[in-house]
Amino acid sequence: MVGVHDDNIQAVLACSVGALLPAELGAVLLAQCSGTGFAGGTVFGITGVFDMAGPTTEFWQERFEKKETGWDRGSPSPQLLAWLASGALRPCRIAVPGCGSGWEVAELAQRGFDVVGLDYTAAATTRTRALCDARGLKAEVLQADVLSYQPEKKFAAIYEQTCLCAIHPDHWIDYARQLHQWLEPQGSLWVLFMQMIRPAATEEGLIQGPPYHCDINAMRALFPQKDWVWPKPPYARVSHPNLSHELALQLVRR
Ligand SMILES: C[S@@+](CC[C@H](N)C(=O)[O-])C[C@H]1O[C@@H](n2cnc3c(N)ncnc32)[C@H](O)[C@@H]1O
């Protein structure tokens, strides 16, 4: 399955670093990693350089090139369609961070939203632009890192699907701060929290992913009540064809 296990990287480092000169450390970082994740079922091995915790844009580029895109439904999320159908989510200026192949960007553009699709991986922005062009839809598609992107104008809404869980938890606080800053006051974060319970996390504290499990308790700490209005649980459960399921919520920025 597609994934980066930081604990594997750490294990390689723990057994090797003591005997290495700094120049050789880079070679250690080319460690073979394997794990469970977004391909949704098959075991695989990848090689990559990691200068910060978690996957890089090169990792995601490789997933697209090798067609290891198990997260990709090939159509807009049923939850997005439900929010649109109910009228809860209405046309406005909206950001779609980590937009991947762009199914949701195209759907929102078609429904009259002023959409900005963001992704730092070239294959993703290329696909999103191609999808919108093929359908004659207008959307702004930017190749940008969500951890540093600053919009020229604030958004009334953000649609967050499978970007948070694609980012190593070490960067979650920075990402949550970004989402808060991008939104106008009273703007909404339409979010799907990926549920990927991993026994090694509860048993041994291992951090495994992507996708990284978005535990609801951790999410409450990450998006605190002082900054966000939370609806009361229970939340809608959205099943995924290859992964487990997501919890769907609307958080309102204070
Ligand atoms: C698992 S895919 C999900 C794609 C899409 N949201 C979907 O559900 O089909 C994660 C996407 O987030 C992008 N991504 C991950 N980290 C990012 C970052 N720091 N900045 C921008 N994009 C990022 C990846 O390039 C990839 O396209």
pTM of the model: 0.85
The answer to whether residues 43 and 169 belong to one domain is no
Residue of 96, 120, 179 with the most ligand 1 atoms within 8 Å of its CB, for mutation: 120
> Do 60 and 105 share a structural domain?
no
SS3 call for 254: coil
Q: Which residue of 58, 60, 150, 163 sits with most ligand 1 atoms within 8 Å of its CB, as the best mutation to test the pocket?
A: 163
Q: How far is the CA of 16 from the centre of ligand 1 (A)?
A: 32
Mean pLDDT of 25-37: 36
Tell me the C-alpha distance between 181 and 178, whole Å: 5
47 and 23 within one domain: yes
- Under DSSP, the state recorded for 206 is -
Q: What is the mean pLDDT of the chain?
A: 85
113 pLDDT above the threshold of 50: yes
Whether 122 and 204 share a structural domain: yes
Q: Which of 65, 95, 115 is the last residue of a domain?
A: 65
- Compute, in angstroms, the gap from residue 177 CA to the centroid of ligand 1: 17
- 198 CB-contact burial (10 Å; exposed 0-12 / middle 13-18 / buried 19+): middle
- Does residue 194 contact residue 243 with C-beta atoms inside 8 Å? yes
- Give a yes or no: residue 73 inside a domain: no
Which residue type sits at 232?
Answer: K
Same domain flag for 37 and 109 = no
Query: Is residue 190 a part of any domain in this protein?
Result: yes
Q: Which residues of 26-38 are buried (b: 16+ CB within 10 A; e: fewer)?
A: eeeeebebebbbb
What's the pLDDT score for residue 164? Answer: 98
Distance CA 161, CA 237 (A): 14
Q: Which domain holds residue 48?
A: 4-65
- Please provide residue 20's backbone torsions phi and psi, each rounded to the nearest 5 degrees: -110, 150
Long-range pairs of 126-129 with CB within 8 A, sequence gap ≥ 24: 127/64, 127/100, 127/101, 127/102, 128/99, 128/100, 128/101, 128/102, 129/102
- Band (pLDDT 50/70/90 cuts) for residue 37 is low
Asked whether residue 71 is domain-assigned, the answer is no
**So what's the pLDDT on residue 216?**
98
Say if residue 200 is in the same domain as residue 150: yes
Same domain, 148 and 239: yes
Looking at ligand 1, which residue's alpha carbon is closest to its atom 6? 99
Which residues sit with their C-beta closer than 6 Å to ligand 1? 38, 60, 71-72, 98-101, 118-121, 124, 145-147, 161-163, 166-167
Q: Mark whether 114 and 210 lie in a shared domain.
A: yes
Q: Can you give the pLDDT at residue 24?
A: 33
Residues 27 and 85 in one domain: no
Which pLDDT does position 148 carry in this prediction? Answer: 98
Q: Identify whether residues 122 and 221 lie together within a single domain.
A: yes
CATH code for the domain of 163: 3.40.50.150
Distance 34 CA to ligand 1 centre (A): 19
Give the range among 20-24, 90-94, 161-165 with minimum mean pLDDT: 20-24
Answer left, alpha or beta for residue 171, where phi above 0 means left and psi between -120 and 50 means alpha: alpha
- C-alpha span between 112 and 130 (Å, rounded): 18
Q: Number of structural domains, the chain?
A: 2
| Final residue before a domain boundary, out of 13, 33, 65 | 65
Q: How many CB atoms lie within 10 A of CB 246?
A: 25
Place of tokens 């880079």: 26
What is the Å distance from ligand 1's center to 124 Cα? 8
- The alpha carbon of 173 is separated from its chain's Cα centroid by a whole number of angstroms, namely 14
Tokens of 61: 């580029």
Q: Same structural domain for residues 134 and 110?
A: yes
Q: Cβ(78)–Cβ(238) under 8 Å?
A: yes
